[in-house]
Amino acid sequence: MLAQSIRDPNPVTKLSHVDGRIKVFLTVAGLLAATSTRSWLLPFCFGCLSLLLLRSIGVSGQLLWRRLRPVLFLAIFVGGTQIFINGHSPLFDLNIFSFHLIGYQEGLTKGSLFAARIFGAISVMSVLTFTTTVQEWIQALAWFRIPQSVIEIMTLAYSSLFTLLDELERLQKAQQMRLGYCSWWRSVQSIGAVGGILFIRVFDKSVRLWQAMRCRGYNGQISVFNDHTLRRKDILVSGLGLVMILGSWVIGR
């Protein structure tokens, strides 16, 4: 399911024609606003508005759910565990078998803030990832003078991602043919075996990739070409988006 969600092509929307530098700039501004507030309401609203924006420009709800589901589960898990870790004012008291759990009011507040920040930040990032190609990302980062090593790692990681997914799917199918997932304990053993084999094969493929790049004259420098000038509508979108983000942050902080 995760591999399929990564391979799903991004739909062509109205925001796809906005300059990538503008979208990167507004995304960074939105991330800073969503993660710097002390209230859970602002990042939660940022997340909801980002999802509504994606739905309004034509992104299907099924595709959104497939890509955001792991992150939403992570946000719930992180927020939920804070209830039992932080605080000193008991909110509830549970006895489950031999476990004694105490929920705290301060932990609920902090957990809500953590969960809202994760939800808001990932939703804001989703607007960028759904409307921007990897090539536009790289061109925008190069224009903002991001270090060359960061762009190099990003390019190589993306080029190797689909090879890694193909290798993972082959290993999983091989385990299924051998009834590797017929029981719970058997599934745990199969996952461990797949992880170990995948690590070895990924390391081997990385060495081969480096050798192939060296044979083709790679010297550690990646040339990024970007001569696009900002259009009037791009500047208008940038100004309007920045005013909305700053206004929301001033009101909600």
Which is more confident, 188 or 27?
Answer: 27
Give the model's pLDDT for residue 2. Answer: 46
- Same domain assignment for residues 10 and 124: yes
Give 194-234 pLDDT, tens digit per residue.
888 888 887 787 788 778 877 877 766 666 666 667 778 87
- Same domain assignment for residues 48 and 161: no
For residue 222, is it within any domain? no
For residue 140, is it within any domain? no
- In this prediction, residues 72-76 reach a mean pLDDT of 87
- Same domain assignment for residues 123 and 155: no
Give the model's pLDDT for residue 222. Answer: 66
What is the number of domains present in the chain?
2
Which is more confident, 163 or 79?
Answer: 79
Averaged confidence pLDDT in the chain: 80
For residue 126, is it within any domain? yes
- Same domain assignment for residues 66 and 30: yes
Give the model's pLDDT for residue 144. Answer: 82
> Which residues form the domain of 22?
2-132+231-252
Neighbouring C-beta atoms of residue 74, cutoff 10 Å:
14
Residue 163 has pLDDT above 70, yes or no: yes
Number of residues in the chain: 253
For residue 225, is it within any domain? no
Helix/strand/coil percentages in the chain, nearest 5: 75, 5, 20
Residue 252 has pLDDT above 50, yes or no: yes
For residue 190, is it within any domain? yes
- Same domain assignment for residues 110 and 167: no
Residue 60 has pLDDT above 70, yes or no: yes
- Same domain assignment for residues 44 and 156: no
Residue 47 has pLDDT above 60, yes or no: yes
- Same domain assignment for residues 208 and 237: no
- Same domain assignment for residues 106 and 203: no
Give 92-133 pLDDT, tens digit per residue.
787 777 777 788 888 888 888 888 889 988 888 888 888 888
For residue 137, is it within any domain? no
Q: Is the dihedral of CA 95, 99, 104, 109 positive or negative?
A: negative
- In this prediction, residues 43-53 reach a mean pLDDT of 87
For residue 73, is it within any domain? yes
For residue 87, is it within any domain? yes
Spell out the residues 6+ positions from residue 203 whose beta carbon is closer than 8 angstroms to its own. none
